[in-house]
Structure 1
Amino acid sequence: MTLNNSLASRLAGWGLLVALGLNLRPILSSISPLLGEIRQATGLGFQSSALLTSLPVVCMGLVALVGIRVEAQLGERRGIALGLMMILLACLARWLLDQAPALLITALFGGAGVALVQALVPGMIKRQFHHRVPLAMGVYSASLMGGGGLAALLSPLVASHFQHWQAGLGIWLLPALGALLLWAWLPLGAAKRHQPTAPFQGLRNRRAWLLALYFGLVNCGYMSMVAWLPAYYQQLGWEVLPSGSLLAFMTIFQVCAALLMPALAQRGIDRRPLLTISLLAQTVGYLGLWLAPLQQPHLWVALIGFGLGACFALSLLLTLDHRRDPREAGQLAAFVQGVGFLINAVSPWMTGWLRELTGSFTSAWLVLTFSVLAMLVVTRVFSPATYRSLAVPG
């Protein structure tokens, strides 16, 4: 009986991890395939439309930066439950309301909910899955990206079925409700009570800032892809459903990379070789979108998806490597995600601005290429010797 209970507890932990991850991207990726209809109905321009993606990411950054205080005030259980409830309510409002201001408000509100969950999960992973942190990070990252891909694929289908774009955005209240009920019914083991500690000194920590900058720039392409990839191919003559399915196709490779690369990382302590492969894949993909978008679109999108999926999981894993204590690792991860997501938030806005300025998305792909190449150089800094022998202050 004890063995069965132990197995059930482990399965519940993995199931909850997947359920949480699935709810963290639909509020972003459900917008993109329906953007043409949304713009036509609300009168939003390219730059203002980009706010529907940028605002949630800004919230992710700001809330993550205060994630330590959130944990202290609410606790892990209530914090994650509140985040899921906010996502649910944002999706419900999107189904009921069709004005541009309402969409922007739900982007902020839902983004804050995503941020609450996202800020608390890495510390939970470090504690709950302490013997399988790379694998757990891979499962979490894969489910997170899988949720984004499902939203890109299914939102236009749901909108077509109900004959209104609002349904395509609002339908994602259902998985949020499911995750909330599952979280209440089968919670992971609660974090132990800690004595009050000094606040995380991220502003005084060069390595923490470097990790944050790195996390932001190696992952910022995802926000641009989610916001503008379908619009880019619609501009090139594709229809709504094929362009949305292209984003879902990208997600398949994100999920594969998010599972495969951390599993490979389990075998060693140096993350640089796998990060290098991941960044090179992104580079080739962006160059393909820039130079030959119609020749091999699925190849370019697959490479970008693989690179982004691997970079998200590996850069978070690299961050967690810097601290042994789960709570301190969670604090560092919250800081890194906070600054990183604020950097990410600029990406879709910049892409929309360049599109309005030049009439094309190609200049944005070139900017992303140079950003990834710069981070390829920075990757060399993260030798395990620099963080296994030197504790990052917390």
Structure 2
Amino acid sequence: METGQRTMRAALNLLLVMLLALNLRPILTSIGPLLEPMRASTGLGYQQAALLTALPVLCMGLVPLLQPWLRRWISEHGGMLAGLSAIALACLWRLQLDSAWALIASAVVAGLGVAVVQGMMPGLVNRWFPGRLAGAMGLYSAALMSGGGLAAVLGPHISGYFGHWQVGLGLWAIPAVLAVLAWAVLRPRQEAPKLAGATGGHWFGTRRAWLLALYFGLINGGYTSMVAWLPAYHIEHGGSAQGGADLVGLMTIFQVAGALGLPLLLRRWADRRPGLWLALAIQLAGFLGLLLAPTLASGLWVAMIGFGLGACFSQSLTLTLEHLKTPAEAGSLAAFVQGIGFIITGIVPYITGWLRDVSGDFQASWTLLTVTVVAMLLVTACFNPRGYAAAIARPVAAGKAASVN
């Protein structure tokens, strides 16, 4: 392939990555800012509302774990089309919903669609951009978070204009349909390579795979909790629904800055730990601010949390992919990590919502997330790049008798 053709192919691949990523968060972030009119219209309780976030995220966990088996029946092309179509159909369904359980069912359909697409994305990015992995993962993460932020900020405006909260949820069928068309027309025609080796994409017996999954899941539990409860928290402190949506938008701006800025700043570093420590420390300061001075500078605390979350997401996925040399095996490890990780991530907002119910405010919820960030600061020390090969080869049983590299 000539240089000009390679450049054009790389540009089209990057455009596809960003279009696909834009569709992976609106189904989550459009809920929180519209929660109060949804509750008034459908009788949705806080625990049911938690399911609107928790169930899609659980789907994002379960489906990647099935990927080694699903790949026997469906191609990468077919999976992308099916996943994006499910997102579009779920959003269209939401245009006419009027019951709590129909909303929850639409969340499951959309979550399954997101799970299929999202499970394939790290391996796809690794295959398309092997020499620029950190930067490409940063752009993927930034586009993913931008889609979520747009849905949170624009949803209340759109719903207010049309007079129906359903429109603020259903409008996101449009970018999903555009992504279907773009994938069908612009995708590279080479199929993903088959996995080789004994693992065959199964990582259940590998200690380091479980540690990476736990790490990824707990880091992202802060994101799903903030998306689910930040607007309600803002309203509890005398704010408006639109103000809560604007806070989610502010968080997203700084997520994008973290996802893009930190990989760029540390692009020459092979060790991901300094970047992760910095991102987690900034995130910790933000949660401590919410705990100790919630009304003093809420925008600052939310911005710090957003920056830390965005940087952690892109850096933790890059960390996972760098554990293995071949794109196929690295992609299968990332699918496992996302699988287990998103199950954990889906449970966290349900727990934080339950803590809000039993305690009467969100302070207990923020305390839990603060403790989690401190724990992840300690776990980060385990990820020495010189020990990747030995760690990823170590089975679970051997971990009891050996130290972590």
TM-score category, normalised to shorter length? over 0.9
1:56–1:111 contact (8 Å) kept in structure 2: yes
Is residue 251 of structure 2 the alignment partner of residue 250 of structure 1?
yes
More deviation, 193-202/296-305: 193-202
In structure 2, the partner of 1:215 is: 216
> Distance between the aligned counterparts of 2:228 and 2:235, measured in 1?
13
Alignment correspondent of 1:352:
353
Partner of 2:48: 48
Number of the residue aligned with 1:7: 7
Are positions 1:386 and 2:387 aligned together? Answer: yes
| Correspondence list, 1:68-79, <5 A | 68-79=68-79
- On the 8 A contact 1:85/1:180 being kept in 2, the answer is yes
Question: Residue 131 of structure 1 corresponds to which residue in structure 2?
Answer: 131
Q: Greater shift after overlay, 65-74 or 176-185? A: 65-74
How much is the aligned-residue C-alpha RMSD, in angstroms? 1.6
**Conservation of the 8 A alpha-carbon contact between 2:208 and 2:392:** no
Match of 1:141 in 2: 141
3-state DSSP class of the match of 1:267? coil
TM-score computed with the length of structure 1 as normaliser: 0.97
Relative distance call for 1:182 and 1:307 in structure 2 (3 A) is same
* Structure-2 separation of matches of 1:2 and 1:269: 31
The structural deviation recorded for 1:291 is 1.3
**Deviations for 1:7-32, whole angstroms, at most 9, x for unmatched residues?**
32121111111001100000000000
| Post-superposition CA distance 1:28-61 (Å, at most 9, x none) | 0000000001111111111111100000001000
- For 2:346 and 2:368, locate their aligned partners in 1 and report how far apart those are by CA, in whole Å: 15
Aligned residues: 394
Deviations 1:318-368 (A, max 9, x none): 000101111100110000001110001111111211111011011100000
Is the 8 Å Cα contact of residues 128 and 189 (structure 1) preserved in structure 2? no
Q: CA deviation at 1:264?
A: 3.0
CA contact (8 A) 1:153 1:244 kept: yes
Contact 2:254 / 2:307 at 8 angstroms: preserved in 1? yes
SS at match of 1:44: coil
Query: Which position in structure 2 is the counterpart of 1:184?
Result: 184
- Secondary structure of the corresponding residue to residue 211 of structure 1: helix
Tell me the CA shift for residue 389 of structure 1.
5.4
**Paired residues for 1:162-201 under 5 Å:** 162-194=162-194, 198=198, 199-201=200-202
Partners of 1:139 and 1:264 in 2: CA distance: 14
Q: Give the conservation status (yes or no) of the 8 Å contact 1:322–1:392.
A: no
**Separation in structure 1 between the aligned mates of residue 283 and residue 96 of structure 2, nearest angstrom:** 38
For residue 183 of structure 1, what is the amino acid of its counterpart?
Answer: W
% identical aligned pairs: 50
Gaps of 5+ in 1: none
Q: Which residue of 2 aligns with 1:157?
A: 157
SS at match of 2:24: coil
> In terms of mean alpha carbon deviation, does 303-312 or 69-78 score higher?
69-78
* Deviating more after overlay: 240-249 vs 1-10: 1-10
